[in-house]
Amino acid sequence: MAKEALAVPSAQARVATTAPKRRTNWGAIGRYIALVFVLVIALGPFYWTAITSIKVDSEINQSPPTLFPQSFTTKSYSQAFISVQPAFAKDLLNSTIVAILTTILALIFGSICAYAIARTKFRGKAGVLAIILSVQMFPLIALVGPLFVFFTNTINVYNTYVALIIPYLVISLPVTVYFLTSFFRELPPDLEEAARIDGCSRLGTLWRIILPLAAPGVFTTAILSFDAQGLLVSRNTILDTNDNGIEILRTAIGDDGSQVLDNRIEDIKAGPGGSGQYGNAINAFRAGNVIVRGNRIRNCDYSAVRGNSASNIQITGNSISDVREVALYSEFSFEGAVIANNTVDGAAVGVSVCNFNVGGRIAVVQGNIIRNLLAKRPLATAPDDDAGVGIYIEADSSVTGNVIENAPSIGIVAGWGKYLRDVAISGNVIRNAFVGIGVSVVPGAGTALVNNNMISETPRGAVVGLDHARPVTPDLSAEGAQRFAQVVMGTNAVRR
């Protein structure tokens, strides 16, 4: 009996019958459409400027305007460069030459100086870097007279490129050294030792080994040598960066006026290392009159908002969680900071307004909720890596209406040694802190008013005198307690 043949489908038939049906990826299409839309909006002004420059006069004034030129002319360029403004081309060339030479010289000298600071061991290394940075504290207008006399009478370079390059180099070189030092410190020294064994000189090691490895840092510094102003940074989502989230930087202290509003910034790492230069969600450096408002910030190696020598900074209405150093920072040479209506849940220090020793003063810290603070901050960022402080303040400031809960160290600290002057601490609620309010009582410290606060669950004391970070007095809020000139005690509600 004949056997019935079985039909075995071919491989192609099997693939055809089992291959899934390709689906349209509407999500990717939507993202590309959104990207094109954003590019059109961002590049539109540049396009309009370009086509306007090649339109004839009658078409420029035409209404409605034309999106594509109907006729082309180079009259505007010839007028700008030749007939009307013959000096324009030379001015543009001069600016380009000065900018390029300044950047190259800043990178050459800055690299050598930063490498020496990062790798050689000598006494006073930290002081050298501080002196380099202190150059930025001189007001530029104060240098005009001396530079004019020096350039005209001493070295006779008036009206030359040198007379422009030298001042710009003085401005850009310190910040170049500052940033490159951090990059060089993070490179493993074993590579240099291997190069030295192979007969490479110190400068050869820098040129052949270190600079190629630190190229990202070199190029970053080149970009940071030039300033922007009046930026609006709004409604961005920034995730998982290895440096900082948003940086508003200036090479010299001055007005900036940028606004950083309504951004979502998460998972910011301090990849290059350092002691606070990186790992910040928002960093304002020497930029005055910056507004930071309404941002959601989470999981930063260092600070959520860091204002360094940034006068009149406003940090308001931000939601912050899980940062491992100072959440909201106003430090170094600044005058004026408003830190208000923020929530901080998880940080080493909630708010720090400091460095009265170099001119940091005038602040209002008001209406913030700060809780669940950490007992330690990242290694090497502070003496003994101490933390667990809700608010730290030094000079000419008021701290009012804040709620602080779960501070392993001190709820509010006023002053560091003798650096305390005219601080008012009133209307705050402090719960579950080792010390409620600590005020510096060392000789030479100024005065702090402590009044109308609600303080509870503070085993070491509701109000305690400090010698720097160390409590040195009994509870000054207790009846019959010793009085200090530095602490003006009002009526506080204390629940022990």
| CATH classification at residue 177 | 1.10.3720.10
Tokens of 138: 């001189």
Q: How far apart are CA 491 and CA 496, in angstroms?
A: 15
Q: Does residue 293 fall inside a structural domain?
A: yes
Domain end among 217, 246, 276: 217
How do the pLDDT tens digits run along the chain, 496 residues long?
343 433 444 434 443 444 455 677 787 888 888 888 888 888 888 888 888 888 877 777 777 888 788 777 777 777 666 655 556 677 778 888 888 888 888 888 888 888 888 877 777 777 777 777 777 676 766 777 787 788 878 888 877 888 888 888 877 788 788 777 777 777 777 777 777 777 777 777 777 777 777 666 565 544 343 456 677 888 888 888 878 888 888 877 888 888 999 999 999 988 777 777 888 999 998 899 999 999 999 999 999 999 999 999 999 999 999 999 999 999 999 999 999 999 999 999 999 999 999 999 999 999 999 999 998 876 655 555 578 999 999 999 999 999 999 999 999 999 999 999 999 999 999 999 999 999 999 999 999 999 999 999 999 999 999 999 999 999 999 988 999 999 999 999 999 7
Question: Is the bond leading into 64 cis (omega within 30 degrees of zero)?
Answer: yes
Q: Rounded to whole angstroms, what are the CA distances from 167 to 140, 142, 220, 256?
A: 9, 12, 21, 20
Characterise 311 by phi-psi region: left (phi > 0), alpha (psi -120 to 50), beta (else). beta
Q: How far apart are CA 344 and CA 390, in angstroms?
A: 10
Contacts of residue 191, defined as CB under 8 A and 6 or more positions apart, other chains included, come to 209, 210, 213
Q: Are residue 449 and residue 476 in the same domain, yes or no?
A: yes
Q: Does residue 437 fall inside a structural domain?
A: yes
**Mode of pairing for the β-strands spanning 461-467 and 470-475:** antiparallel
Q: Domain total for the chain?
A: 2
The SS3 of residue 35 is: helix
Contacts of residue 174, defined as CB under 8 A and 6 or more positions apart, other chains included, come to 132, 133, 135, 136
Task: Provide the H-helix boundaries in 54-87.
Answer: 57-60, 75-78
H, E, C per residue of 378-440:
CCCCCHHHECCEEEEECEEEEEECCEEEEEEEEEEEECECCECEEEEEECCEEEEEEEEEEEE
Q: Does residue 409 fall inside a structural domain?
A: yes
Q: Does residue 238 fall inside a structural domain?
A: yes
Q: Please tell me whether the overall predicted TM-score, pTM, comes out greater than 0.75 for this model.
A: no
Q: Does residue 485 fall inside a structural domain?
A: yes
* Contact between residue 320 and residue 326 where contact means Cβ atoms under 8 Å apart: no
Q: Are residue 158 and residue 273 in the same domain, yes or no?
A: no
CATH of the domain at 479: 2.160.20.10
Q: How far apart are CA 488 and CA 390, in angstroms?
A: 21
Q: Does residue 116 fall inside a structural domain?
A: yes
The torsion of the CA quartet 406, 408, 413, 418, rounded to 10 degrees, works out to: 180
